[in-house]
Structures are given as structure tokens and as C-alpha cells.
Amino acid sequence: MKGKFISFEGPDGSGKTSVIKVVENYYKERGFKTLVTREPGGIKISEKIREVIHDVEHTEMDPRTEALLYAASRSQHLNQKIIPALESGIIVLCDRYVDSSLAYQGFGRKLGYDEVLAINMFAIDSVFPNLTIFVDVRPEVGLNRVFSTADREKNRLDLESLEFHKEVYNGYLELIKIYPKRIKRINGEQPISKVAKEAIDLIETII
Ligand code: TYD
């Protein structure tokens, strides 16, 4: 495919959404065509699936159901939005992708890396990003940011314990070891301009 597929990952409150905005502006100003997206990405089918997952009333949701729903939503978003953009040569900046499922469901929910990878390989048909940027913020710092921002919407995952978020964080560190070429870590506890600069330096190596 002609375009480049870049995903951003990190714990809740890592600031990746703000980093993506700065990166997008940087490339737009230089005349690149970019697409910023996040699952469910405005895709109607995926939006509906996400509502089911994130509903704070769905406390009885089974972890496997949760993992399958994220994978289903991802598949639709990938096929309806990401792949067409990549085929037309666009730089796709995606806020969370398959590594979120590996970290949150595989490690956080303890469903297992292999198990969650297996259902996701089916969902994504082996389409991995060209580059994944892990915005590294310690889970306690991230959660603090989430809960000190009053107008930020809190979902079912945000409301999980610090223990859960630590498992997710350690999961991400495992993923960096498993995919050292694809996943690159940047320090998210620096000022946003520095974090964005590090992200751009990494992206420059692949475009
Ligand atoms: P969102 O509101 O997009 O938060 P953020 O700005 O932190 O990305 O909510 C995404 C939540 O869903 C977040 O807590 C991580 C979780 N999640 C998973 O558990 N598995 C997944 O596959 C994805 C994509 C997200």
C-alpha cells in the first residue's frame, strides 16, 4: 500500500491524542495528506459496537466478549476507513489499534497474549502498522491526569483499578520486547512539544 500506517499507544491519560494533533499539523503544513482516526473512527457499525463495550452499566461483560467486540469494531474500521486511505497514499495516524487489545485484554484482563493475538489476526488479516509509537507515561500519572480533567468522559475501562492499569502498562512493555522494530517508546512525561518532536523524529525514519 502506498500510504503509511502509524498507530499511537499508551495508558489512559498518556496524552497521545494531543501528540497526534501536533504531528498532524506538522505534516499538513508540509503538504502531506493525513488522516487522523481512532477506533471506532466514525464508522457507524463500529460506533455501535463501541457503545456496547464502553457503557458503564455493562459491568457484567465477560472479558472474552469485550475482546471480541474490540476486534470486531477494529475489523470494520480497518476495512472501511484505514485501508482505503492507505491505498490512496495517505499518512494514517491512528489513536490506538491492535496493541491496545493485546495490552488491555491480553495482559490487563489476563486473557493471554496468544489468545488475544489470535482473534485479532483474524480481525485485521495481518495488517499491522508500519510504526507504533508508545507514549510512555506511568499508570499512576496517566490516571491522575484522567481524573483531574473534570470534563473528560470516563469510560468503563478508566474506572478499573490502578492494579489493572499497572498490568496494562507492563503489558505494553512486553509488547515492545516482542515487536522491537515496530513499536518505539517515547517519554510522555515531558512537555507536549518535546513528546511531539520525538514522535516526528520517529515518523521521519519511515516516510
Ligand atoms: P478512549 O475514550 O478512546 O480513551 P483514550 O483517549 O485513553 O484512548 O477509550 C479507549 C479505552 O478503551 C481505553 O481505556 C483503552 C480501552 N481499549 C481496550 O481496552 N482495548 C482496545 O482494543 C481498545 C482500542 C481500547
pLDDT on residue 60: 95
Residue pair 21/135 in contact by the 8 Å Cβ criterion = no
- Does residue 17's CB lie within 6 angstroms of at least one atom of ligand 1? yes
Over residues 136-193, the pLDDT tens digits come to 999 999 999 988 887 777 777 777 889 999 999 999 999 999 999 999 999 999 999 9
Residue pair 159/107 in contact by the 8 Å Cβ criterion = no
The CATH number of domain 4-204 is 3.40.50.300: yes
Task: Determine the distance separating the centroid of ligand 1 and the alpha carbon of 194, expressed in angstroms.
Answer: 24
Task: Determine the distance separating the centroid of ligand 1 and the alpha carbon of 153, expressed in angstroms.
Answer: 12
- Does residue 100's CB lie within 6 angstroms of at least one atom of ligand 1? yes
Query: From the alpha carbon of 146, which atom of ligand 1 is closest?
Result: 7
List the chain domain ranges. 4-204
pTM summary value = 0.95
- Nearest residue CA, atom 7 of ligand 1? 12
Query: What is the mean pLDDT for each group of 10 consecutive residues in the chain (207 residues)?
Result: 96 95 98 96 94 93 97 98 98 98 97 98 97 97 88 76 95 98 98 97 96
Over residues 155-169, the pLDDT tens digits come to 777 778 899 999 999
Residues 183, 130: Cα–Cα separation, whole Å: 9
| Percent of the chain whose pLDDT exceeds 70 | 100
pLDDT on residue 77: 98
Task: Determine the distance separating the centroid of ligand 1 and the alpha carbon of 100, expressed in angstroms.
Answer: 7
- Does residue 104's CB lie within 6 angstroms of at least one atom of ligand 1? yes
- Nearest residue CA, atom 25 of ligand 1? 100
Which of 14, 97, 157, 159 to mutate to test ligand 1, by most ligand atoms within 8 A of the CB atom?
Answer: 157
Task: Determine the distance separating the centroid of ligand 1 and the alpha carbon of 31, expressed in angstroms.
Answer: 30
Q: What is the DSSP string of the chain?
A: --SEEEEEE-STTS-HHHHHHHHHHHHHHTT--EEEEETTTT-HHHHHHHHHHH-TT-TT--HHHHHHHHHHHHHHHIIIIIHHHHHTT-EEEEES-HHHIIIIIIIIS-S-HHHHHHHHHHHHTT---SEEEEEE--HHHHHHHHHH-TTSPP-TTTTS-HHHHHHHHHHHHHHHHHSTTTEEEEETTS-HHHHHHHHHHHHHTT-
pLDDT on residue 148: 87
Task: Determine the distance separating the centroid of ligand 1 and the alpha carbon of 155, expressed in angstroms.
Answer: 8
